[in-house]
Amino acid sequence: MKFDIAIIGGGPAGLCFASALAKTELSVLVVESQTHDAIADPAFDGREIALTHRSKSIMEKLGLWQLIAPEAISPLCDAKVLNGVALQGLTIERSHGKKAELGYLVSNHLIRKAAFDVAKTLPNVTLRTGVKVTALNTSAAGGNLTLSDGSSIECSLIVAADSRYSMARRAMGIAAKIHDYGKQMMVCVMEHDEPHHHVAWEWFDYGQTLALLPMNGNRSSIVVTLPENDIRRLAPLEPDFFNAELSQRFGHRLGKMRLVSTRHAYPLVAVYANRFVAQRFALIGDAAVGMHPVTAHGFNLGLRSADALARGITTQADRNADIADATVLATYQRGHKCATLPLFVATHALAKLYTDDSRPARRIRDFCLAVGQRLPPFKRLVAASLTGAR
């Protein structure tokens, strides 16, 4: 079988990239190892995705945003960073970002469903589900994929969107910086007595990191980061005990908390590929940059990579030129590195400092937040990053 572009992975980045090529006449194949049902109607996976204004615009352009029910979108007004036992920390207000809200929260499974619903209607996109890509290679003439059912695919360009643990990246000999933080994140939705006022929290407490992402009503997506052994004990805990422990971990700042969803655990691993392109090959989404979730930018940057690469390819297709031209791929790589590397490095440094509980680190943690709180230009910079303006 022959296609212009073969995409490995029908996650949110892979499907959005396919949809971004809707206006071209290029034939696009998406190969996804999960079953058709699993990606057509994805199950709740615990993740509430904080989306920037830029992501909202891209999703509108692709026709995804319109498919998400308005009541499933919660506004993210302000963001608060807390340190240790202190009640005051750093607050980034919506006014710093010059918008009515800093961003929006949408469940990952709803984003995935909308991405699938758009892609399935496109005449130039073919979805093959329930099969894995097991091998790939490229040459000056084209790319070749081998699938787990024994079939093979020929194409002009291979795009890998196969997660931060990308097999395609390895197969193509692309090294990556991998930071394993040795912790797990447990995510779930909880109701609580006190209102959240649509303020997101990132609380670097001593011995634990807690995040709260405000959903509509008195409900929040809760992210607890702890060593794996602690998550193994906490995740299956009987609900009454779980509720009591979480209310206590949050210092009863939200009153009583009640679990209202399933619980999901993810390893805390960040990845940055050394290169995003090779001959007739490109990485997008988490396969290129798998962010630490503390700055809530993983999918935002993945969407940006899909949009940037699709724009370069569309220009080439309009000119009847080679869609896998090395200069086009190099331009994509340069642009996406500029957009992601400073944030990736800063996030890693922040995560290291704010999980170091030594006495000097605690002092520096307090000092940085206190200085940040008094520096409006710094707050505007953070707000610009959260809204996606920068």
Ligand X SMILES: Cc1cc2nc3c(=O)[nH]c(=O)nc-3n(C[C@H](O)[C@H](O)[C@H](O)COP(=O)(O)OP(=O)(O)OC[C@H]3O[C@@H](n4cnc5c(N)ncnc54)[C@H](O)[C@@H]3O)c2cc1C
Query: Which residues form the interface with ligand X (CB under 6 A)?
Result: 8-14, 31-34, 47, 49-50, 108, 132-133, 161-163, 167, 185, 187, 223, 266, 285-286, 293, 296-300, 302
User: What span, in angstroms and rounded, lies between the C-alpha atoms of 1 and 18?
Assistant: 18
Of the candidates 156, 300, 296, 89, the residue with the CA atom closest to the CA atom of residue 213: 296
CB of 361 to ligand X, least distance (A): 24
CB of 316 to ligand X, least distance (A): 23
Question: Among the residues of 11-138, which ranges form H helices?
Answer: 12-20, 36-40, 53-62, 108-119
Element spanning 269, H or E = strand 264-273
CB of 161 to ligand X, least distance (A): 5
For ligand X, give the closer residue by CB, 191 or 286: 286
For ligand X, give the closer residue by CB, 179 or 256: 179
Burial class (CB in 10 A: 0-12, 13-18, 19+), 125: buried
For ligand X, give the closer residue by CB, 33 or 387: 33
CB of 133 to ligand X, least distance (A): 4
The CA angle 46-50-52, to the nearest 5 degrees, is: 155
For ligand X, give the closer residue by CB, 128 or 365: 128
CB of 13 to ligand X, least distance (A): 3
User: What span, in angstroms and rounded, lies between the C-alpha atoms of 221 and 50?
Assistant: 11
- Coil, strand, or helix at residue 345? helix
Find where tokens 């609580």 sit.
192
CB of 298 to ligand X, least distance (A): 3
For ligand X, give the closer residue by CB, 54 or 256: 54
User: What span, in angstroms and rounded, lies between the C-alpha atoms of 154 and 45?
Assistant: 34
Phi and psi torsions of 168, nearest 5°? -65, -40
For ligand X, give the closer residue by CB, 138 or 300: 300
Residue whose beta carbon is closest to ligand X:
11
